[in-house]
Chains A and B, each alone.
Chain A
Amino acid sequence: MNADELISRLSGPLSLRRRVATTVALLGGLLGAAFVGLLWLSEPVLPLRTQLAFGALVLVGLGWAGYGSWVLSRRTPLFALDRVIAGWLALAASGLLAGLTALVALTRGGVHWAAYLMVVVLLMVAAGNLVRARALRGALLRRKRELGG
Chain B
Amino acid sequence: MSSDELLVVRCRLGERDALAELVRAWHAPVWGYVRRMIGPAEADDVTQEVWLAVVRGLPGLRQPERFTPWLFTIARRAVTNRLRAEYARPEIATDAEPVSPDPADALVDRAELVAGLAALPAREREVLILFHLEDLPLETCALICDVPVGTVKSRLSRARRLLREEMNRKEGRP
Residues of chain A at the chain B interface (Cβ within 8 Å): 1-4, 6-7, 9-10, 13-14, 74-83, 137, 140-141, 143-144, 147-149
Q: Chain B, interface size: which category?
A: 20 to 34
Residues of chain B at the chain A interface (Cβ within 8 Å): 2, 5-6, 9-14, 16, 19-20, 23-24, 27-28, 31, 44, 47-48, 51-52, 55-59, 64
Q: A147: which of B6, B20, B44, B52 is its contact (CB, 8 Å)?
A: B6
A1 touches B31 (CB 8 A): yes
Q: Report if A149-B10 is in contact (Cβ < 8 Å); known contacts: A1-B48, A3-B23, A6-B27.
A: yes
A79 vs B18: C-alpha distance when bound (angstroms): 12
Q: Report if A144-B23 is in contact (Cβ < 8 Å); known contacts: A10-B55, A149-B6.
A: no
Which residues of the other chain, A, contact B11 by a CB distance below 8 angstroms?
A: 79
Q: B13: which of A78, A80, A148 is its contact (CB, 8 Å)?
A: A80
Interface SS, B side: helix
Query: Max chain B CB contacts within 10 Å: which of A4, A74, A75, A140?
Result: A140
Name A81's closest neighbour in chain B (CB-CB): B14
B23 touches A6 (CB 8 A): yes
A14 touches B13 (CB 8 A): no
B20 touches A79 (CB 8 A): no
Name B56's closest neighbour in chain A (CB-CB): A77
Can you list 25 A-B pairs with a CB-CB distance of less than 8 A? Answer: A1-B44, A1-B47, A1-B48, A3-B23, A6-B48, A7-B19, A7-B24, A10-B19, A10-B51, A14-B19, A77-B57, A79-B11, A79-B58, A79-B59, A82-B14, A83-B59, A137-B13, A140-B9, A140-B12, A140-B13, A143-B9, A143-B64, A144-B9, A148-B2, A149-B6
